[in-house]
Structure 1
Amino acid sequence: MHQPEETNAPAQENTQDGTQDDARAIRALWAEMARGWAAGDAALFAASFAEECDFTTVRGDKPPGRTGIEAGHDALFHGPYAGTVLDARVVAVRFLRPDLATVEAESTITAPDGESLATTHALAVVERTAERHWSIRAFHNMIPAPRPAQQAPDSRESTVNAPAVNEPAARPKLRHLAIVARDPEKLAEFYSSVFAMELFHRDPDGSCFLSDGYLSLALIKHQLDGDTPVGFNHFGFHIEDTAATTEALLAAGTPKPAERFTNRPFAEYRAMDPEGNWFDLSEHGFGGPRPPTDSTGS
């Protein structure tokens, strides 16, 4: 197992109110975390944090201080991250005053075989005690969102006109699930009230179509005289090129997708996997509201 990278690599530092020694001591906190992680030693990992540290995980959980941080990481070191290595990199140190600074740090968790399992970005507040020891007082961890594709310099399109999630992309997206229901209206009310899904279409037979802004859910009315059983029925992919997808399906030995003759603005083709499970293919998407965006575009 390779050793974690030391965190004394060059980083942005505003040392107007702090010394180079202070900056090195702050970076050493992350080096200590990496050593504790590599050793599977939760106590050593947690030692960089103040006893009452305000810690927020990538899931939004808030373990109670250093003891909670230690307990949570002990479970990780004996569970999903056993034998892994943490590469912790301090990106920037900014002193707010001589005894207080903010830190931006990036971390990568690597499996024993070298595979990268996760990358996180954290913003932390560190404080120097009266004994001149630095510790992390607040730590907010997150998984960074994928960077959007860069537009050409002469592009006049605003980011608000960028393709929405419901528009095609190079990789097929799973965007649709269908359930055959005895009472679609009652089931639609359930998913609307419990999971805040939005009803955006209703067929004359009572079938209901909902969306969470990303994935559409079809609740198809069960026909008592039909052969289709109640429950999960099919799923659907949003694709960019029907011809290319058809060619790939035929090469995989599955039947050619069948065109769906319907006046509803949903999937254009129905296909089947090697075990007979149905799925839809659509270039134009599956309808429903687009995901909300705020004024920052985040």
Structure 2
Amino acid sequence: MSSVHEPDARAIRALWDHMTRGWAGGDAAAFAAVFSEDCDFTTVRGEKPAGRAGIETGHAALFQGPYAATVLDARVTAIRPLRPDLATVEAESTITASDGTPLVSTHALAVVERTPGDRWLISTFHNMIPAPRPAPAPQETSVAEPTAPETAARPKLRHLAIVARDPEKLADFYSSVFAMELFHRDPDGSCFLSDGYLSLALIKHQLDGDTPVGMNHFGFHIEDTAAVSAALVETGAPTPAERFTNRPFAEYRGMDPEGNWFDLSEHGFGGPRPNTGD
């Protein structure tokens, strides 16, 4: 595969530079200007805003809400030319609070196209939070009898959430005592940690809210939301509801027969990858 010509590489990297400037200024129109009018954009939550206009509307809400006064650091890590007027791009991004505290890191795969006016625009953009790399399976020491393959992977309990008066203090506790790694902060002070397998959300208690402190909910990593939802409904449980939240760690919220909440996520709950010695 040939390398992209340097003038084109500069023009493509400039798209991400333009995004960061728009983000820094809280200017959703400037941020969205680098996307084509009919851009196929997928957020980390699997949402698909309608083209450039939808991207602008969605980011205007972010800039006025949870990501107000934050900073985006976006870095193009690879450009692969497909044709002289078409290329794929990989980019890494980190959002930080105004005091420099990292909030979330994402990875994006994009397709960029050269327009008839010789301008590059992003026509496809898929944003994601990299999932933790699974720990290597233990080495087998004996030959086991073959078993029939499972028809579907078993849902895995991967997430616990606690409503906390002081999330930072609790995060320090779990980091120092149990070596958990802090991998995300919300602008409201909520903290998210991981041991490389299970994520622990420490949700900031709102003084004017009626949610009690303590254990709040748990979450399952699943393969098929539709299948799990159908199984829940069959038991008489409510249909899981889509979560309209800016936290990128769960897509649906369900409830068991006794009213206990749980999250359902196909893409996982984020967090650091276990150290495999690579």
TM normalised by structure 2 equals 0.54
Are residue 94 (structure 1) and residue 80 (structure 2) matched?
yes
- 2-side partners of 1:120 and 1:46: how far apart? 18
The percent identity for this pair of structures is: 58
- 1-side partners of 2:136 and 2:17: how far apart? 34
Task: Measure how far apart 1:56 and its partner are.
Answer: 1.1
Are residue 30 (structure 1) and residue 30 (structure 2) matched?
no
The counterpart of 1:189, out of the listed 235, 245, 254, is 235
Please give the secondary structure, in 2, of the residue aligned with 1:43. Answer: helix
Task: Measure how far apart 1:67 and its partner are.
Answer: 1.2
Unaligned runs of 5+ in 1: 1-13, 178-186, 197-214, 220-230, 236-290, 293-298
Task: Measure how far apart 1:166 and its partner are.
Answer: 5.5
Task: Measure how far apart 1:189 and its partner are.
Answer: 2.6
The counterpart of 2:60, out of the listed 66, 74, 79, is 74
Maintained 8 Å contact 2:93/2:105: yes
The counterpart of 2:130, out of the listed 112, 130, 144, is 144
Alignment of 1:186-225 (within 5 A): 189-191=235-237, 194-195=239-240, 217=256, 219=258
Please give the secondary structure, in 2, of the residue aligned with 1:190. Answer: coil
- Higher Rg of the two aligned structures: 1
The counterpart of 1:57, out of the listed 39, 43, 49, is 43
Task: Measure how far apart 1:156 and its partner are.
Answer: 4.9
TM normalised by structure 1 equals 0.51
More contact order relative to length (CA 8 Å, sep ≥ 6): 2
Maintained 8 Å contact 1:176/1:216: no
Unaligned runs of 5+ in 2: 142-148, 150-154, 159-177, 179-194, 201-214, 219-232, 242-253, 267-278
Please give the secondary structure, in 2, of the residue aligned with 1:136. Answer: strand
Alignment of 1:1-298 (within 5 A): 16=2, 18-149=4-135, 155-156=139-140, 165=156, 189-191=235-237, 194-195=239-240, 217=256, 219=258
Equivalent position amino acid for 1:190 in 2: G
Task: Measure how far apart 1:218 and its partner are.
Answer: 7.0
Q: Per-residue CA shift, 1:75-115, capped at 9, x if unaligned?
A: 11111100000010111100001110001111111000111
Please give the secondary structure, in 1, of the residue aligned with 2:235. Answer: helix
- 2-side partners of 1:88 and 1:188: how far apart? 45
- 2-side partners of 1:111 and 1:188: how far apart? 44
Task: Measure how far apart 1:18 and its partner are.
Answer: 3.3
- 1-side partners of 2:50 and 2:22: how far apart? 19
Equivalent position amino acid for 2:235 in 1: E
Task: Measure how far apart 1:149 and its partner are.
Answer: 3.5
- What count of residue pairs does the alignment treat as equivalent? 181
- 2-side partners of 1:165 and 1:143: how far apart? 18
Task: Measure how far apart 1:49 and its partner are.
Answer: 0.6
Please give the secondary structure, in 2, of the residue aligned with 1:73. Answer: helix
Query: Using a 3 Å threshold, how does the CA distance of structure 1 residues 69 and 218 change in structure 2: closer, same or farther?
Result: closer
Please give the secondary structure, in 1, of the residue aligned with 2:236. Answer: helix
Equivalent position amino acid for 1:59 in 2: R
Maintained 8 Å contact 1:18/1:99: no
Query: Using a 3 Å threshold, how does the CA distance of structure 1 residues 53 and 218 change in structure 2: closer, same or farther?
Result: closer
- 1-side partners of 2:217 and 2:118: how far apart? 57
Query: Using a 3 Å threshold, how does the CA distance of structure 1 residues 99 and 17 change in structure 2: closer, same or farther?
Result: farther
- 1-side partners of 2:27 and 2:217: how far apart? 44
Task: Measure how far apart 1:195 and its partner are.
Answer: 4.3
- 2-side partners of 1:53 and 1:122: how far apart? 14
Query: Using a 3 Å threshold, how does the CA distance of structure 1 residues 188 and 81 change in structure 2: closer, same or farther?
Result: same
Query: Using a 3 Å threshold, how does the CA distance of structure 1 residues 218 and 128 change in structure 2: closer, same or farther?
Result: same
